[in-house]
Amino acid sequence: IVMSGQMGYEKAREGKYDLIILDIMLPEKNGIDICKDLRKNGVNTPILMLTGKKEEIDKVIGLEIGADDYVTKPFSIRELVARVKALLRRPQEIRPDVEEYLFSDVYLNFKRNEVKKGNAQIKLSAMEFKVMHYFVQREGEVIERNQLLNEVWGYENYPSTRTVDNFILNLRKKIEDDHTNPKHLLTIHGAGYKFVK
């Protein structure tokens, strides 16, 4: 446990941890900047962000810069423990059946956790890679939001599906030519999502 953002960043960058619980509101260096800098420096430890901000945009920003999950204050200890357990159950490395995958102008290498769109390198978080791998393995299938929460996030009977929707939005922005008119990550109204090549 550390009380300043700068100290937390240095310890997280230098040490080996199973999980990082990161508050957004910290002195010296805020949680958003810490998360962003850790991911830039290759730290792939799962990050659970704590925020007192309820606005959806703050949560989306946290997920876009590499956080794996978030909890909004006030929260119950039961919810925090459930989310921690879910994060710790996730494999730290993706071990796909298919190492490489190409669709449109997007190239995915799951073994090296690399993605390119055209000639541009695209940054995906570890969780975004896991979601993409799940879709690729089930190309053409309709995937319900609760199915993604249960099988990818590890939440059983979790009431909110906004986490899934935020991730799909973020992925579309990164891999689609026009995220407002997606050609690959499709919304199936009343059912869920479908990935098509």
| CATH classification of the domain holding 33 | 3.40.50.2300
Residues 105 and 191 in one domain: yes
Residues 125 and 159 in one domain: yes
Residues 84 and 140 in one domain: no
Q: Is 19 domain-assigned?
A: yes
Residue 187 confidence (pLDDT): 92
Q: Is 95 domain-assigned?
A: no
126: domain range? 100-195
Of the candidates 89, 119, 142, which is a domain's last residue? 89
Q: Is 106 domain-assigned?
A: yes
Residues 106 and 84 in one domain: no
Residue of 133 and 56 predicted with greater confidence: 133
Contact 55/76 with Cβ under 8 angstroms? no
Of the candidates 89, 123, 154, which is a domain's last residue? 89
Residues 106 and 188 in one domain: yes
Q: Is 39 domain-assigned?
A: yes
Read off the pTM.
0.52
Whether the pLDDT of residue 186 is over 90: the answer is yes
> Alpha helix locations (H) across 22-89?
31-40, 56-64, 77-89
Q: In CATH, what number is assigned to the domain containing residue 189?
A: 1.10.10.10
Q: Is 94 domain-assigned?
A: no
Tens of pLDDT along 104-121?
A: 999 998 888 889 999 999
Whether the pLDDT of residue 127 is over 70: the answer is yes
The structural domain count of the chain equals: 2
Residue 178 confidence (pLDDT): 94
Residues 130 and 190 in one domain: yes
Q: Which long-range contacts (CB under 8 A, 24 or more apart) does 115-123 make?
A: 115/174, 115/175, 117/174, 117/175, 122/174, 122/175, 123/39, 123/174
Average pLDDT, rounded, for the chain: 82
Q: Is 63 domain-assigned?
A: yes
Residues 11 and 83 in one domain: yes
